[in-house]
Amino acid sequence: MAYLDHAATTPMLPEAIAAMTAQLAVTGNASSLHAAGRRARRTVEESRETLADALGARPSEVVFTSGGTEADNLAVKGLYWARRDADPRRTRVLASPVEHHAVLDAVDWLAAHEGANVEYLPVDRYGRVHPEALREAVLRDPGDVALITVMWANNEIGTVFPVRELAGVAREFEIPMHADAVQAFGQLDVDFGASGLAAMTVSAHKIGGPTGVGALLLGREYTPVPVLHGGGQERHVRSGTLDVPGIASFAVAGRFAADRREDFARETGALRDQLADAVLAQVPDALLGGDPAPGGRLPANAHFTFPGCEGDSLLLLLDAQGIECSTGSACTAGIAQPSHVLLATGTDPDLARGTLRFSLGHTSTKQDVEDVARAIGPAVERARSAGLS
Amino acid sequence: MTETSQRPLRVLAAMSGGVDSAVAAARAAEAGHDVTGVHLALSANPQSFRTGARGCCTIEDSRDARRAADVIGIPFYVWDLAERFREDVVEDFVAEYEAGRTPNPCLRCNEKIKFAALLDKALALGFDAVCTGHYATVVTGADGNRELHRASDMAKDQSYVLGVLDERQLAHAMFPLGDTLTTKDEIRAEAERRGLAVAKKPDSHDICFIADGDTQGFLANRLGGTAEGDILDESGAKLGTHEGAFGFTIGQRKGLRIGHPAPDGKPRYVLDISPVNNTVTVGPAEALDVTALTAIKPRWCGTPPSGPGTYTAQLRAHGGETEVTAELTGDTLHVTFTEPVRGVAPGQAVVLYDGTRVVGSATIATTVRRERAAAG
């Protein structure tokens, strides 16, 4: 078995499992005033401090959510509503066209239901938004921009964005900028305080924590309109009983993600390079996705386009040999659509159907790379004979 | 001998989300084959939930199929064949009705999608066979060739809609339900026993791509609205009007909406459809009697018959058998009925059988009506 889909979810760290299971046995609602509640509250607040430290943020800037999708929705919708409420002219949303669907669909929803005027920023052939492009877009009318949302690193092709420079442009015009850093956390230096961002999304299960918990890093001067209404547990912008075991586990994983980041990036990056070399040796006309420049793509990401193949066919053939990866594209009822990321980079739609994303993680080994090296050539040959249906 | 007793094969099981294809896949897996499930996405914009008794085109059906595959313990994928299905089945369906014929889209789907587009892709990807939940039997004949036979249970037999398969397609077909001498209730019980949640799912029996079952409305929408035309009797006298000649079927009795009864008080049936004049001709039941037909685009399961032969024929999906003599001239099949038959609709397939064995099929093009004494 070669599990090479860590960008979808990565195995939980033993330490994170230990922290979670320990808390599962403890009773206490972190909002309760009695001793059990105080105990739970303490666990939550210590976890908040740990995560804040791991992410270069203040504890009060950590808003726990049910995961990356909720954090993205809170940032995009909540900041849009708050900014528009403060000045009805602010209806323009500037977004990259290669965002994860949690951002993309939230932005499209604002356009369909809340009068947002969504403008997709131009990207280069690697899917990257350049600060000059952002500046140009803002300058068309700095007074009507509600928010900017651009991811830290792309989940499909791995391209890393110049987030600090982009946030610098946003700051200059006093426009809040959100970045989805779900894929970046643990692989890149995502220092929230140094980034200049107003908001940043992270998720536990991409770094060895549990599914169902994430956080929105939110600058103290921002008060998005809530998406979920209720008890107001998290700074009155997010309601819902806090998931103490999940949060405790998230904090442990977050600590490891920050502490091990440089070693992880170096070691996994080397393994990823071996994987890329092996695939390109077996399939010389395969195209490696993302920016090839040093630091241009996530160290654990290896995205390929195989001309003349269906990614679906490759997935089936590799799955049958115990190699687990992803086509990297979105699904509707399991039907593969050409990736919006590849289409945004100007890739031909037929070509965009032949993609595979291998994403490595903390359990990846040299054996995984060898398994792929052995299987990929015959798989591509066979998938090509099946053609594009 | 059945497929399930052969050496282990790599099998691609087409799973609609219904109970039959789920049990078929489970039986193939249980027989030791290496089975992978695939659900065919045949609609570009699938609805979320089934309405009525659809069997293949909603996200819910896709989920049901996935759930069944998970229980059986086989890999499962969704393949998007919507474009091929639209071209080869839906457009063909519309064009046939437009031309005044009555197509069978299930037959077309088996010929062009399940045992063509799907089978070709399966073979290219290294599979040996495609498995479906059809009730029909494939056996290896004395000469080593593969033969398609009626299902053991004649009441559930679906060999008619598979009559378009040629020998190569049959060589890679697997129908694990075909030798089942069990009722549908027993198939459901088997599904229940296997822990398949689709055990209680209603049967699908309509055209899968017409979501609300309103074929007439679907055709009116596709063929540019309704164009009023005349309903005539056999002498050409106008009896009433209709809202578009398409959608009528030869032999149809209901839905004619002629205000007044026939002079003899007997029911009237659709005898002819003329799309060119947009007229529908009606008359008494005996005027439907057909003594012979010609059929085109023949497909043979094995060697085409030489010279005239005696066969039994089936003329529609749930029709009975009738004795015929048939002869092939070029690509035209001439079929003569021993006794006249009623309700033969151009566009439907005539499937020829030798005992239980499917010999081949062709698409009915013209019919010869029995001569009658003038109505008096």
Closest CA to B363 of B291, B293, B290, B296: B296
Last residue of a domain, one of B287, B306, B330: B287
Closest CA to A226 of B371, A216, A91: A216
Question: How far apart are the CA of A327 and the nearest CA of chain B, in angstroms?
Answer: 13
Q: Do B91 and B183 belong to one domain?
A: yes
Q: Do B276 and B294 belong to one domain?
A: no
- Is A326 within 8 Å of A319 (Cβ atoms)? no
Give the SS3 label for residue B366: strand
How far apart (Å, rounded) are the C-alpha atoms in residues B303 and A114?
66
Judge whether A317 is closer than 8 Å to chain B, CB to CB: yes
Q: Do B269 and B300 belong to one domain?
A: no
Q: Which of A319, A336, A389 sits opposite B121 (nearest CB)?
A: A389
Q: Do B7 and B136 belong to one domain?
A: yes
User: What confidence score (pLDDT) does residue B55 get?
Assistant: 45
Residue B374 pLDDT exceeds 90: no
Q: How far is CA B247 from the centre of its chain?
A: 17
| Residue of B114, B125, B128, B130 to mutate for A, most A C-beta atoms under 10 A | B125
How far apart (Å, rounded) are the C-alpha atoms in residues A197 and A186?
18
Report the mean per-residue pLDDT for chain A.
Answer: 96
How does pLDDT run across A268-298, given as a tens digit for each residue? 999 999 999 999 999 999 999 999 998 999 9
Q: Contact A334/B46, CB-based, under 8 Å? A: no
The chain B residue lying nearest A388, using CA atoms, is B121
Classify residue A183 by burial, with Cβ atoms within 10 Å: 0-12, 13-18, 19+. buried
Q: Do B47 and B157 belong to one domain?
A: yes
Question: How far apart are the CA of B40 and the nearest CA of chain A, in angstroms?
Answer: 9
A contacts of B41 (beta carbons < 8 Å):
333-335
Range A330-342 average pLDDT: 72
Q: Contact B125/A336, CB-based, under 8 Å? A: no
Give the SS3 label for residue A381: helix
Catalytic site residue A325? no
CB atoms within 10 A of CB A313: 28
Question: How far apart are the CA of A378 and the nearest CA of chain B, in angstroms?
Answer: 11
A60-to-A53, A221, A376, B168 alpha-carbon distances in Å: 11, 11, 48, 69
The chain B residue lying nearest A385, using CA atoms, is B124
Q: Which of A320, A336, A385 sits opposite B124 (nearest CB)?
A: A385
Q: What are phi and psi of B66, to 5 degrees?
A: -60, -40
| Residue of B15, B43, B60, B79 to mutate for A, most A C-beta atoms under 10 A | B79
Cβ pairs A/B, distance under 8 A: 49
Q: Which of B36, B63, B81 sits opposite A389 (nearest CB)?
A: B81
B contacts of A327 (beta carbons < 8 Å):
none
Range B208-223 average pLDDT: 82
Give the SS3 label for residue A263: helix
Total residue length of chain B: 376
Range A126-137 average pLDDT: 98
Closest CA to A249 of A214, A218, A216: A214
Q: Do B238 and B364 belong to one domain?
A: no
Classify residue B371 by burial, with Cβ atoms within 10 Å: 0-12, 13-18, 19+. exposed
Q: Which of B41, B75, B126 sits opposite A335 (nearest CB)?
A: B41
What fold is seen in the domain A14-259?
A: Aspartate Aminotransferase; domain 2 (3.40.640)
Q: Do B7 and B127 belong to one domain?
A: yes
Residue B162 is encoded by which pair of tokens?
């598979």
Closest CA to B356 of B134, B169, B141, B110: B141
Q: How many domains does chain B have?
A: 3
Q: Contact B66/A386, CB-based, under 8 Å? A: no
How far apart (Å, rounded) are the C-alpha atoms in residues B86 and B80?
11
How far apart (Å, rounded) are the C-alpha atoms in residues A98 and A346?
12
Nearest-5° Cα angle at A199, A195 to A203 = 100
How far apart (Å, rounded) are the C-alpha atoms in residues B14 and B137?
17
Residue A229 is encoded by which pair of tokens?
């209404």
Largest CA distance in chain B: 69
B contacts of A385 (beta carbons < 8 Å):
124
pLDDT tier at B49 (50, 70, 90 boundaries)? low
Judge whether A330 is closer than 8 Å to chain B, CB to CB: no
User: What confidence score (pLDDT) does residue B152 get?
Assistant: 85
Q: How far is CA B334 from the centre of its chain?
A: 21
- Is B5 within 8 Å of B50 (Cβ atoms)? no
CB atoms within 10 A of CB A249: 30
Q: Which of A331, A349, A350, A381 is catalytic?
A: A331
Q: What are phi and psi of B362, to 5 degrees?
A: -155, 160
| Residue of B10, B33, B57, B80 to mutate for A, most A C-beta atoms under 10 A | B80
Question: How far apart are the CA of A334 and the nearest CA of chain B, in angstroms?
Answer: 6
B contacts of A317 (beta carbons < 8 Å):
125-126
Closest CA to A301 of A279, A334, A330, A333: A279
Question: How far apart are the CA of A335 and the nearest CA of chain B, in angstroms?
Answer: 6
Q: Which of A320, A333, A387 sits opposite B62 (nearest CB)?
A: A333
Residue B320 pLDDT exceeds 60: yes
Last residue of a domain, one of B270, B287, B304: B287
Residues 6+ apart with CB under 8 A from B37: B12, B13, B15, B25, B65, B66, B68, B69, B72, B74, B75, B76, B77
Task: Please list the active-site residues of B.
Answer: 109, 208
User: What confidence score (pLDDT) does residue B259 get?
Assistant: 72
User: What confidence score (pLDDT) does residue B54 get?
Assistant: 44
Last residue of a domain, one of B200, B216, B237: B200
Matching CATH number, A2-9+261-386, of 3.40.920.10, 3.40.50.720, 3.30.420.40, 3.90.1150.10: 3.90.1150.10
Q: How far is CA B229 from the centre of its chain?
A: 30
Q: Contact A334/B78, CB-based, under 8 Å? A: yes
Q: Which of B36, B59, B124 sits opposite A333 (nearest CB)?
A: B59
Q: What CATH number is given to the structural domain containing B195?
A: 3.40.50.620
CA B101, B102, B103, B105 torsion: positive or negative? positive
Is residue B207 in a domain? no
Is residue B375 in a domain? no
Half-sphere exposure (Cβ direction) of A342: Cα atoms closer than 13 Å: 26
Q: How far is CA B30 from the centre of its chain?
A: 28
Range B30-57 average pLDDT: 75
How far apart (Å, rounded) are the C-alpha atoms in residues A68 and A224?
16
Instruction: Write the Ramachandran bin of B351: left for phi over 0, alpha for psi from -120 to 50, otherwise beta.
Output: beta
Is residue B216 in a domain? no
Q: Do B110 and B132 belong to one domain?
A: yes
Q: Do B147 and B43 belong to one domain?
A: yes
Closest CA to A376 of A321, A308, A299: A321
How does pLDDT run across A178-214, given as a tens digit for each residue? 999 999 999 999 999 999 999 999 999 999 999 999 9
How does pLDDT run across A230-248, given as a tens digit for each residue? 999 999 999 999 999 999 9
How does pLDDT run across B104-135, given as a tens digit for each residue? 999 999 999 999 999 999 999 999 999 999 99
Q: Contact A382/B81, CB-based, under 8 Å? A: no
How far apart (Å, rounded) are the C-alpha atoms in residues A150 and A161?
8
B contacts of A315 (beta carbons < 8 Å):
77
Any idea where the domains of chain A sit in the sequence? 2-9+261-386, 14-259
Q: Which of A312, A313, A389 sits opposite B117 (nearest CB)?
A: A389
Report the mean per-residue pLDDT for chain B.
Answer: 87
CB atoms within 10 A of CB A374: 14
Q: What CATH number is given to the structural domain containing B320?
A: 2.40.30.10
Residue B26 is encoded by which pair of tokens?
């489970």
Q: What CATH number is given to the structural domain containing B264?
A: 2.30.30.280
pLDDT tier at B3 (50, 70, 90 boundaries)? very low
Closest CA to A240 of A253, A254, A226: A226
Residues 6+ apart with CB under 8 A from B45: none
Largest CA distance in chain A: 67
pLDDT tier at A255 (50, 70, 90 boundaries)? very high
Closest CA to B82 of B38, B46, B44, B39: B44
A contacts of B46 (beta carbons < 8 Å):
332-333
Residue B274 is encoded by which pair of tokens?
């003329």
Is residue B212 in a domain? no
Domain of residue B364: give its range.
Answer: 289-369
Is residue B301 in a domain? yes
Is residue B211 in a domain? no
Residue B4 pLDDT exceeds 80: no
Residue B190 is encoded by which pair of tokens?
């088997």
> What are the b/e assignments for A50-64, b being 16+ CB within 10 Å?
bbbebbbbbeebbbb
Range A300-326 average pLDDT: 95
How far apart (Å, rounded) are the C-alpha atoms in residues B71 and B73?
5
